[in-house]
Structure 1
Amino acid sequence: MKERSIRIKMEKDDSLHGKFVQLTHLYYRNTFKILSETGIHPKQIPLLILLDKRDGMSQKEISEELHISAPTVAVSMKRMEKAGIIERRNDEHDQRMVRIYLTAQGKEMIEKSRKCVEENEKMVFSGFSESEMCLMKRFFDQMIKNLGGDDKHHCCM
């Protein structure tokens, strides 16, 4: 009942904020639904992509790169390690340092998640022309800039 009343409120809110909140909610709900088949949580995707680009990072490096607190990274790592997606190994040169590596299963998960996200993206952006997509990207970039974000710190597929 609570979710239904939230949805009704969002549908009635015609403000930009209301539309943005509704879009974000629906996008993540869809992404979660599509990814549920792979066993990946949407919040794990940036971490997977980062490790795909820079395998062998430390937990601290991951936390800094993704702008996520160390405890949050630790919880994700624990879940992903238990699922066989990543493994921890001591650094070859400094045994005190632990490095995070994707397993073969983790690399497969990246490919599956990319396909799922692409599928979701096609659905979300269907009906838009190439010029509208380009304009939308510029709007998104400006909003990111307005909020103090920096493109180079965001992982993309």
Structure 2
Amino acid sequence: MNNNYINEITNKEIIHLLISFAMKHRKIMQYYLEETGVYHAQHRLLMEISHTQNVSQKDIASSMGISAATIAVSLKKLEKGGYIKKEIDEGDNRLNQITITEKGKKVVEQSKQIFDSTDQKVFGGFTEEEKFTLFTLLQKLEANLIRMEDEIKYQKERT
């Protein structure tokens, strides 16, 4: 590779490319996942529920890092669509135990196939070594961002 070209790539161009990649990937995934009949926010929630049967709304919200009130609307839509069932906890009437239905399981299976197929296409032409190098570089970026988040958190605590 030409060293002049390497020296001309700016941090801003790299960040722009990462953001552009993330936006395109999200748009493509939304397009493919539309065929499941579940909207994006509901889809993420359904995938989370599929990992843990008989989970409470509070636990789902906690694991996803969002408020229980925020997911309540999506849960109602998923229940109305027949993808999940809510049952009142016998020990605490305020808690709902949420389980995935057969219809919901079919969507999760279909989604996994879409994820696998998309991953294959995204990484088409990459060698295992190139994927490892990319992974390593992205881990470094992630570590830098985590340090920045920690600095911000520390500064907020001091004020």
- Structure 2 length as normaliser, TM-score? 0.75
Larger helix fraction of residues: 2
Moved over 2 A (4+): 40-50, 69-72, 92-96, 134-149
Asked if 2 retains the 8 angstrom alpha-carbon contact of 1:31 and 1:42, the reply is: no
- Structure 1 length as normaliser, TM-score? 0.76
Amino acid at match of 1:61: D
Amino acid at match of 1:23: F
C-alpha separation in 1, matches of 2:73 and 2:108 = 19
Structure 1 residue 65 displacement after superposition = 0.5
Structure 1 residue runs without a partner (length 5+): 1-13, 150-157
Distance 1:82 1:138, change over 3 A: farther
User: Among 129, 132, 142, which residue is 1:131 paired with?
Assistant: 129
C-alpha separation in 2, matches of 1:71 and 1:54 = 20
The answer to whether the aligner puts 1:97 opposite 2:83 as a matched pair is no
Structure 2 residue runs without a partner (length 5+): 1-11, 148-159
Distance 1:44 1:126, change over 3 A: farther
Amino acid at match of 2:123: F
Structure whose alpha-carbon radius of gyration is higher: 2
Structure 1 residue 45 displacement after superposition = 4.0
> What value does the CA root-mean-square deviation take over the aligned residues?
2.1
The answer to whether the aligner puts 1:61 opposite 2:82 as a matched pair is no
